Amino acid sequence: MENMQRLTYAKGIYGEEEKLAVMRSLDSGWLSGGVETRSFEKEFAEWFGLKHALTVNSGSSADLVALQSINLPKGSEVITNAGAAFPTTVTAMSYLGLVPVFVDVKDLCIDPDEIEKAISLKTKALMFAHTFGFMPDMSRITEIVKKHNLKLIEDVCDAVGSKQNGKLAGTFGDVSTVSFYPAHHMTTGEGGMVMTNDTLNYREELSIRNWGADCTCGDMGGCVNRFNNPPFDHRYYYTRMGGNFQITEMQAAFGREQLKRLDGFIDIRRRNYNILARELGEPECGEISPFIYPLFSRNKMRDMARLNEVGIDTRTMFAGNIVKHPAFKNIGRIVGDLKNSDRILNEGYFVGVAPHLTEENMLYIAKEIKCLR
């Protein structure tokens, strides 16, 4: 057992190209907010088919910047999923004085029926993650958003490359976010991205990311209005609350090389997911770009422990039901009984499908899962 290869659920994959890119950025002498960063943003936006992409230092920061950029009044309600949720979306709401409204999920995704039940006069936005790469009925979601004049923020941290009817996750709403944490579809070590087609919204995002500065020229300090607003230097004129959420040039250079690998990474994730699905007699992944392979068991902790013993890494489905955690027990509003979210908490866990896992690895994982049944 001591020499057993551990099949981790995720692993950052990179090579000489990323190392050389980092050295290239170091040799340029410009360590933040330069050519590499702007090029990475442009290339990433093009991959998604969107007008604007803005780098930030984490997926958590991406959620905060995205939500702040739509300028909701304090006390506004934002509907989100309770099941298989991650803290960052809810935390961003609380930091900004907004009220999370928790609804149940269906097939791991936010349930459109529950969204409609939750809408009140205070509801201003819908913000949810495409959990594990799965997507809710986005036609229905966009109908609801349009009918009630809501803003839609898509968290695509788990779902880069997922599609529904040929349309990418992250391109349905007003703003979308991505994480480049090492476990995700591509990595910059740490980092994230905020994306939009709305130029005015992009300028809000840019200002928030850069300390709240009014200047959004975005050209390494080349502000065209520096001396036109005395006594202020426009580069240091602050018109909104913000922070320093920037990534480094080294991360951006690394990310540009990772982006070249992204389509291949997604193909392997789908292959690995489908091997498990076929072996376990379950549906294949179709258009989604899977983050993991979900499993349910009434003996969840026992099964996770047994898989761990045979070298297979597992994780619970994030927060399970997030409203059951101490930090989120007494905030916001709950709609419905959240029975599916409770099932995720009590029975849900997952194994990996990441690109470092081989076909042989996946067959071994399938064999060991079948031994639990």
pLDDT of residue 221 exceeding 70, the answer is no
pLDDT of residue 341 exceeding 80, the answer is yes
Question: In the chain, how many domains are there?
Answer: 2
Asked whether residue 54 is domain-assigned, the answer is: yes
pLDDT of residue 126 exceeding 80, the answer is yes
Domain that holds residue 361: 260-372
Q: How many CA atoms lie within 13 A of 302 on its CB side?
A: 6
| 337 and 291 co-located in one domain | yes
| 303 and 357 co-located in one domain | yes
Query: Which entry of 52, 130, 148, 184 is annotated as an active-site residue?
Result: 184
Q: What is the mean pLDDT of residues 159-170?
A: 98
Mean pLDDT of the chain: 95
The pLDDT value given to residue 222 = 67
The pLDDT value given to residue 179 = 98
Asked whether residue 5 is domain-assigned, the answer is: no
pLDDT of residue 173 exceeding 80, the answer is yes
| 239 and 326 co-located in one domain | no
| 282 and 326 co-located in one domain | yes
| 304 and 228 co-located in one domain | no
pLDDT of residue 215 exceeding 90, the answer is no
pLDDT band, very low/low/confident/very high, at 1 (cuts 50, 70, 90): very low
pLDDT of residue 216 exceeding 90, the answer is no
Asked whether residue 3 is domain-assigned, the answer is: no
Asked whether residue 202 is domain-assigned, the answer is: yes
Which CATH number does the domain housing residue 304 bear? 3.90.1150.10
pLDDT band, very low/low/confident/very high, at 289 (cuts 50, 70, 90): very high
Asked whether residue 241 is domain-assigned, the answer is: yes
Q: Which of 233, 256, 279 is the last residue of a domain?
A: 256
pLDDT band, very low/low/confident/very high, at 230 (cuts 50, 70, 90): confident
Conformation bin of residue 193: beta by default, left when phi > 0, alpha when psi is -120 to 50? beta
| 240 and 274 co-located in one domain | no
Q: Which of 232, 256, 280 is the last residue of a domain?
A: 256
The pLDDT value given to residue 220 = 47
Q: Rounded to the nearest 10 degrees, how much is the dihedral formed by the CA atoms of 62, 68, 71, 73?
A: 140
Asked whether residue 6 is domain-assigned, the answer is: no
Task: Report the C-alpha gap between 225 and 220 in whole angstroms.
Answer: 14
Helices (H), 56-137: 59-69, 87-95, 112-118
| 137 and 201 co-located in one domain | yes
| 206 and 315 co-located in one domain | no
Q: Is 184 a catalytic residue?
A: yes
Query: Shortest CA distance to 106 belongs to which of 131, 86, 87, 123?
Result: 131
Q: Which of 216, 240, 256 is the last residue of a domain?
A: 256
Asked whether residue 166 is domain-assigned, the answer is: yes
Which CATH number does the domain housing residue 233 bear? 3.40.640.10
| 233 and 273 co-located in one domain | no
CA 162 to chain CA centroid, Å, is 12
Q: What is the mean pLDDT of residues 292-307?
A: 98
| 123 and 207 co-located in one domain | yes
Task: Report the C-alpha gap between 366 and 349 in whole angstroms.
Answer: 15
| 199 and 234 co-located in one domain | yes
